[in-house]
Amino acid sequence: MIYLLAGNPNVGKSTFFNFMTQSHVHVGNYSGVTVEKRVHHVKHYEGANLVDLPGTYNVSPSSQDEGIVTYSLLNESYNGVVNIIDSTHLRRNLHLTVQLLELGVPSMLVFNLKDALKNNGYVIDIDKVKDRLKVNAISISARDRQNEDQKQIASEMQNLRITKALELDYDPIIKWGLQRIHDLLRYDVIQVKKKWLALQILEGNEGTFKFLDLVKEEKIREVVKEVEDRIIEAKVAFSLKGAIFNTRREFINNLVEECLIKVEEKEHSKYFNQKIDRIITHPKFGIPIFFIIMLAIYQVSFGTFLGVGNFLTTYFEIGWNDYLVYYLGQALEFLGLTGFMYGLLIDGIMGGIGGILVFLPQIIVLFFMLAVLEGTGYMARVAIVMDRFLSKFGFNGKSIVPIITGFGCTVPAIMATRTIADKKERILTILTIPFISCSARLPIYGIFTSLFFDEYRAIIILGLYLLGIMVTLLSAKFLNLTYFRGSGSKFLLEVPPYRIPQLRTITYQALEKAKRFVKKAGTFILVGSMILWLLSNIGMDGININPEESFLSNIAGFIAPIFNPLGFGDWQATSSLISGVLAKEVVVSSLNILYVGDIAAGFTTLSALTYIVFASLYVPCIATIATIKSETGSLKWTVFSVIYPFVIAYLVALSVNLIFGIFL
Amino acid sequence: MNITDLNKKEVAKIISLSDIDKLFTKRLMDLGIYESATVVMLNKLSSNRLYIIEVDDVEICLRKEDAEKIEVKK
């Protein structure tokens, strides 16, 4: 049994999905389109799977992401649809609901955010909803994770009513068009109801043509055109789509009026929002406030004063080096393993992974605090504050989401650009986002700042982040002036109310990032460290040689001179950068291995600075490059995404070397 | 008059969307901004460059140049 889970964006769909399936895991890719869909079995319902579709306002797609919903409804087999609805925004959410009910498949409505609605002084009369729409429905609060709710939903899913398709009273001209298209669809063999399909076609759902090979496509398009002209001529609405929309809006308004019941007079939180908004998005103070908040966050994560993250890392480091590695070394010696094997295990693997894992506490602290910020609704205000600024560089307003995601990991950030409808704007965002400092680059900043700039850690790390942002913006401007000329940017943002974030959600998000970090350490970095150590200890003369004569030294030594102008032209620093393309954290483990734990010996204060600047901007990691390839589908842009950052990183690092060379 | 002419807390009905490209109209519609919708002006930010309005209980932030294209009637 397969059930599709559909709903608007930001209505607690993922919370609901995790709640119903009791999973935090990503299970697998779902066949069909190239985009990932999460599938998991439903608790208390043997043999049933829930498919998490991307959030959408509408069945008809306006971006690639939303096309999946149309595709799934048209081309995949399923037993029912579960529609999750934000109870506090019924009038908007129900547009999708109406479209799903018009399809006439077994459906269930889940009205989420019951508690928030109650706080506003309202309840939903569920019995009336059931009666009016003839579907199963329930009102819940997915955040509370009530066991009874879970059981009731599962049991209702097993007994979904066979629903008759919802029929709204559209304008006679539209009804006429529906009939004409319906007749033309007789030539096609299609799984879904043709009446629904006809309506979607009239609405301008291009997905219907894209995913179905309709025999009479030409004729159908002519009918759509004719209906549109007649609608405008008869002054029913400004467009055909608008006429359909208005009928639905009227139906929804009546429904809401009947089913939404006021139980208590409450002062609306909007005015509270406004007061805070005035300060936080102030034209002069908005940006400084943002930077002060960010600086405080980096100070707590990495700084020494009030530095929770730094404090924890110190103990983590002691535990790792003085206990774990020490006793492991003792054990190996006891077993008689010395020389090559000892070196591989202790210096190679433990040294390589340890160099990364020590940053785990700092990363957890950082992401915990960023998740708090996100949960409060502040990030949407940052988008408002930054809009004027971003638009000057030709960014789409929606780019702010991928940019913020990019601070975590570039790969999901690039995938998040799917919500940008304009293709040019999307590619522009994809190409510039790798400059945003992802969390994998943090260990590099962490190690160098602790060795060379201990007093100014938070400021230098924040500075590197700002540099990344600046290069992103300037690159966007540059590309906009050259290749992507003339793509205008639009800004339309839903402003969420301020909320007190849930501790469980935040902890979960931070731990999820930590888990990914550890997983990477156990796979990519482990293998990378081993290979690197082996290459640096094997040469033409066999094993256990002087590293200066190793294979690695020979290969990297050949390339190294190009970094001489930047001040770090030795083979160790170069090899570390090359291996960093595997995953950025590997730069640190490589440095640890190649300088045998004494990185400070390999750099001057100035070359350390140019090195981190270069490392923060150069070639993206393999995972990112692969994602760029699959998302743009273009070899040209993929190659560009490798060469362009290298050139930029080189130029910026060179400038840093020249400018700071005067002071340092 | 258009949306930017509304004062804070004023309520009006949208009468037309002029000169907005198709794709953006669709996105506006997704959020409920279309003819016959009721809007409330909630806040003007960033030196009257951004407008926060409410449509169908949803708070939405618009740029001045887009808000100006939405005609309303009190």
User: For residues A388 and A152, which has the higher predicted lDDT (pLDDT)?
Assistant: A152
Domain that holds residue B41: 3-73
* Model pLDDT for residues A298-354, shown as the tens digit of each residue: 778 777 677 788 788 788 888 888 888 889 988 988 888 877 888 888 877 887 788
Residue A8 confidence (pLDDT) above 80: yes
Do A88 and A181 sit in the same domain of this protein? no
- Inside any domain, residue A640: yes
* Same domain, residue pair A342 and A244: no
Residues 7 through 66 of chain B touching chain A, CB cutoff 8 Å = 16-17, 23-32, 34-37, 42-43, 45-47, 49-50, 52, 54, 56-63, 66
**Rounded-to-integer distance, Cα A341 and Cα A417, Å:** 46
Using alpha carbons only, how large is chain A's radius of gyration in Å? 29
Q: Do B31 and A384 touch (CB under 8 A)?
A: no
Of A246, A281, A494, the CB nearest to B46: A281
Q: Say yes or no: A202 and A239 in one domain.
A: yes
A427 in the same domain as A490: yes
Q: Write down which residue in A130, A158, A186 finishes a domain.
A: A158
The CATH code of the domain that includes A73 is: 3.40.50.300
> A74: domain range?
2-158
Q: Is there a single domain that holds both residue A135 and residue A6?
A: yes
- Looking at the structure, tell me whether residues A316 and A439 fall in a common domain: yes
In this predicted structure, what is the pLDDT of residue A29? 30
CATH number of the domain residue A225 falls in: 1.10.287.1770
Residues A96 and A193 in one domain: no
Report the gap between the CA of B47 and the closest CA in chain A (Å): 6
CB contact under 8 A, B30 and A273: no
pLDDT the model gives residue A625: 92
Number of domains in chain A: 3
Query: For residues A154 and A42, is the Cβ–Cβ distance under 8 A?
Result: yes
> Does residue A567 share a domain with residue A512?
yes
Report the CATH number at residue B26: 2.30.30.90
Write down which residue in A221, A239, A259 finishes a domain.
A259
Q: Domain check: are A211 and A235 in the same one?
A: yes
Q: What is the pLDDT at residue A66?
A: 61
Dihedral over alpha carbons A321, A322, A325, A329 (to 10 degrees): 140
Contact (CB, 8 A) for A391 and A398 = no
Whether A88 has a pLDDT exceeding 50, the answer reads yes
A369 shares its domain with A487: yes
Task: Give the DSSP H or E segment for A85.
Answer: strand A80-86
| Alpha-helix residue ranges (DSSP H) falling in A260-325 | 270-280, 286-302, 308-318
d(CA A655, CA B2): 49
- Top residue of A248, A277, A382, A495 to mutate, by most chain B CBs within 10 Å, is A495
Say yes or no: A239 and A356 in one domain: no
In a domain, A323, yes or no: yes
Instruction: Give the minimum alpha-carbon distance from A488 to chain B in angstroms, rounded to a whole number.
Output: 11
Q: Which residues on A lie below 8 Å from B63 (Cβ)? A: 387, 391, 397, 490-491
**Domain-located, residue A480:** yes
Nearest CB to B35 within list A62, A242, A278:
A242
Residues A180 and A154 in one domain: no
pLDDT digits (tens, 9 = 90+) for A600-644: 888 999 999 999 999 999 999 988 998 898 888 889 999 999 999
Q: In the β-sheet with B58-63, what is the strand arrangement from edge to edge?
A: A492-494, B58-63, B50-55, B38-45, B11-17, B70-73
Contact A588, A443 (CB under 8 A): yes
Residue A37 to residues A6, A50, A353: CA-CA distances in angstroms? 12, 10, 32
Alpha helix (H) residue ranges in A560-604:
571-579, 586-594
Using one digit for the tens of pLDDT, what is the confidence trace for A515-571? Answer: 877 887 788 778 888 888 888 888 877 777 777 788 888 888 899 999 999 999 899
Q: Which residues pair with B36 in a beta bridge?
A: none
Identify whether A472 is part of a domain.
Answer: yes
* A234/A164: higher pLDDT: A234
- Measured in degrees and rounded to the nearest 5, phi and psi for residue A205 equal -75, 100
Average pLDDT, chain B: 87
Out of B31, B50, B66, the one facing A384 most closely (by C-beta) is: B50
Q: Which of A244, A259, A274 is the last residue of a domain?
A: A259
Rounded Cα distance between B8 and A75, Å, is 48
Question: Complex ipTM, two decimals?
Answer: 0.89
Instruction: Determine contact: B2 vs chain A, CB below 8 A.
Output: no
Please count the structural domains in chain B. Answer: 1
Nearest residue in B to A493, CA atom:
B61
- pLDDT tens-digit series, residues A131-149: 999 999 999 887 777 888 8
